[in-house]
Amino acid sequence: MAAPGPPPPFLAEVRAALGPHRVVTDPARTASHAVDWTGRFRASPPVVVRPATVDDVVAVVVAAGAHGVALVPQGGNTGLVGGATPLDGEVVVDLRPLHEVRDVDELGGQLTAGAGAPIAAVQEAARRAGWAYGVDWAARDTATVGGSVGTDAGGLRFVRHGSTRRQLLGVEAVLGTGEVISHLARVEKDNTGYDLGGLLCGSEGTLGVVTAARLRLVPPRPDAAVALVGFASVAAAVDAAWAVRRGIGGLEAVELMTAAGLELVCTVRSWPAPLPTPAPAVLLVEVASAADPGSVLAEAVAGLDGVVDAAVATDGPRRAGLWRYREAHTDAIATLGAPHKFDVTLPATELAGFVVDAPGIVAAVAPRARTWCFGHAADGNVHVNVTGLAADDEVVAEAVLGAVAERGGSISAEHGIGRAKRRWVHLARTPAELAAMRAVKGALDPHGICNPGVLLP
């Protein structure tokens, strides 16, 4: 049965404040907001509000508090854990109209981006100012700053720059109370009290609606080299990721792929195999050192154990040509049906064993499912994707997340908890930690209207 929609007085108040065209109820126009990127989480077409200003967001939150209407903030809707899907009849707050990138500080390397700005727009604004933005992933053209802050997105360059939280100098947000906190100051070093931006980062919309972020930029590194390195075993590739992390200065990325994933990508895209010699696992390594990164990389690869083949690219198009094998994984896997996604992190000593064991852990409880492992090897973060499961299957999550916890890992590296992993949060946080989170939520979202279906069990 479809969840009931928001009460008419709420709609009337929001229409009066935002203008009627900013409250969309036509199912033909709202259906795309009802399903997450994977297609696994599907709701009835929701009511979608499209605030154009921070005051609009305040009006929505205040009306929601008064009428007990739950809200789900949404940006590019590229999330992978059902964290922005209105499964319980929540009103979707579409933040894409707030997409302005402004107040670029060319000298200090900072800018302010509206929650609806795509990551690629931030990267482009940074480039025009002579800087770069340190967070990047394949969905960059669609994924937004608000979603990146909401999930504390990590991405492909975490090993170099850390996750979104590390880029965040402050946020502007409408808390669940309806109050606006705005810290978009231009200073970089500032330890005045609680880090409210850091707290909202990764809170998945459960404390308020982030409307803008002040972001730190990083020096550009146009001279880079990328290597694809084939290894004789998955364990050798993972071990090499740690050796690379310790041994190479100027490391930008270390990405793990397996033979199965690469074969799927090549089949779906009709691409040739990336390396002439077949290898059970391949690492993509990017280096951007000041002098001659190609030589630095070639020398480092020559010193690694278990290498069966390697290709190094230094010019932009060939580097992009190697990267596309990694970036195409998510889309290629999606062609097999809605995947279940587990973005887990393992301690360094456990990563290789876990990646080797993962297909067996899945097969033991779901013999017909297929398991795809890839990810950010030098962060200890592997993406375990499982296809061929019913949307509501929980047996595989229980097995995979349980195995991760047993090995001292975390069940959420960068996609957030959302709906998909909510039942298993206790594997990664103690009762005292969860109680502290609930206390924070109670203070900042006293009416319980901010994305109540996610994160906290």
Q: Which residues bind ligand 2HG (CB under 6 A)?
A: 80, 137-138, 330, 341, 375, 383, 385, 414
Q: How far is the CB of 161 from ligand 2HG (least distance, A)?
A: 15
Which lies closer to ligand 2HG via its Cβ, residue 86 or residue 375? 375
Q: How far is the CB of 135 from ligand 2HG (least distance, A)?
A: 11
| Distance of alpha carbon 28 from alpha carbon 436, whole angstroms | 41
Which lies closer to ligand 2HG via its Cβ, residue 15 or residue 245? 245
Q: How far is the CB of 338 from ligand 2HG (least distance, A)?
A: 12
Q: Mention every residue, 6+ apart, whose C-beta is less than 8 A from residue 323.
A: 226, 284, 286
CA dihedral 16, 17, 18, 23 (to 10 degrees): -50
Which lies closer to ligand 2HG via its Cβ, residue 24 or residue 413? 413
The alpha carbon dihedral of 262, 228, 152, 379 has a sign of positive
| Distance of alpha carbon 80 from alpha carbon 384, whole angstroms | 12
Q: How far is the CB of 422 from ligand 2HG (least distance, A)?
A: 18
Residue 363: burial class (beta carbons within 10 Å; 0-12, 13-18, 19+): middle
Q: How far is the CB of 341 from ligand 2HG (least distance, A)?
A: 5
Q: How far is the CB of 80 from ligand 2HG (least distance, A)?
A: 6
Q: How far is the CB of 168 from ligand 2HG (least distance, A)?
A: 19
| Distance of alpha carbon 425 from alpha carbon 435, whole angstroms | 12
Q: How far is the CB of 20 from ligand 2HG (least distance, A)?
A: 38
| Distance of alpha carbon 392 from alpha carbon 394, whole angstroms | 6
Which lies closer to ligand 2HG via its Cβ, residue 176 or residue 375? 375
- Please provide residue 167's backbone torsions phi and psi, each rounded to the nearest 5 degrees: -90, -10
Q: How far is the CB of 78 from ligand 2HG (least distance, A)?
A: 9
List the structure tokens of 424.
């298993």
